Amino acid sequence: MSAALTSGLRQRIAMMFRPDEIELAASLLADGCGPKLTRYPDLLERIRCAVLKLSRGDLNELRRAIKLAQHDWRDALVAAGFADSIKAHESWWPDGSQPPPS
Asked whether 12 and 50 are in contact (CB, 8 A), the reply is no
Query: What distance in Å separates the CA atoms of residue 91 and residue 94, rounded to the nearest whole number?
Result: 10
Average pLDDT of the chain is 92
Query: What's the one-letter identity of residue 42?
Result: D
39-74 residue pLDDT tens: 899 999 999 999 999 999 999 999 999 999 999 999
Higher pLDDT, 102 or 41: 41
Angle between helical axes of 22-32 and 7-16 (0-180°, round to 10):
130
Confidence of residue 3 (pLDDT cuts 50, 70, 90): confident
* Residue 17 buriedness (CB in 10 A; 0-12 / 13-18 / 19+): buried
Tell me the pTM.
0.91
The pLDDT score that the predictor gives to residue 54 is 98
